[in-house]
Amino acid sequence: MALVFRTAAQVAGSSLSLLGWVLTCLTNYLPHWKNLNLDLNVMENWTIGLWQACVIREEVGTQCKDFDSFLALPAELRISRVLMFLSNGLGFLGLLVSGSGLDCLRIGERQQELKKWLLILGGILLWTSGLAALVPVSWVAHVTVQEFWDETILETVPRWEFGEALFLGWFAGFSLLLGGCLLIWAACSAHAPLASGHSSAAEAQHLRQCLEMRHTHLQT
């Protein structure tokens, strides 16, 4: 039963981590971190991301323009770029490291202690990747809320609202956190015997030795 829970935790942790990493990559490049709907022109919507701003018109379609200067961006967008890149890199490294420590891989199956620490290290990297994704998403959301309820801005001025990428980033970050925790829990749980013919051969040899010792004892 312990082997079943251990295997299920590894599979679930790896799947959630892979899903979270893919979604963080999408969140990084999607231009939908903030949305702006103009009351005067309902046929025109604006969106902004970490890398470009887009305007969506029903007649023309979507037109996007990359930001000209990194230093001209608001502080939350500048730091969010760095943190999202960090999240993508740590997530990719965590997937590689934790994948090498999975029980389903026959590579290094005789070095269970090494595989255990690889799984723990991979889980920590994935957990850190999820945290690095949640921080910029939550920061941009916090700034958006502050600007939306800023009383010093006239009510007639349009306000930015949450974009779809923020919700995607939250889901991705929590997926990486949960996936990393599951991998760490699986690594810290009791190790199952080697999943190959080596364990069966070892048990058979041990049983044979016991029978020989018993037979020798009976003869004496």
206 within a domain of the structure (yes/no): no
> Which of 184-216 are b and which e, b meaning 16 or more Cβ less than 10 Å from the residue's Cβ?
bbbbeeeeeebeeeeeeeeeeeeeeeeeeeeee
Q: Would 157 be classed as within a structural domain? A: yes
Task: Establish if 195 belongs to a structural domain.
Answer: no
Domain at 141, CATH number: 1.20.140.150
Count of domains for the chain: 1
Least confident window among 53-67, 148-162, 172-186: 148-162
Q: Which domain holds residue 175?
A: 2-189
Q: What is the distance between the alpha carbons of residues 8 and 17, in angstroms, rounded to a whole number?
A: 14
Residue 41 pLDDT > 90, yes or no? no
Residue 22 placed within a domain: yes
- Does 199 map to a domain? no
The per-residue pLDDT for range 50-91, each reduced to its tens digit, is 999 999 887 778 899 999 888 889 999 999 999 999 999 999
Residues of the chain with pLDDT > 90, as a percent, come to: 54
Question: 111 pLDDT exceeds 80?
Answer: no
Query: Whole-model pTM?
Result: 0.80
Helix, strand or coil, per DSSP, at residue 52: strand
34 found inside a domain: yes
Q: Would you say residue 150 lies in a domain?
A: yes
Report yes or no on 214 lying in a domain.
no
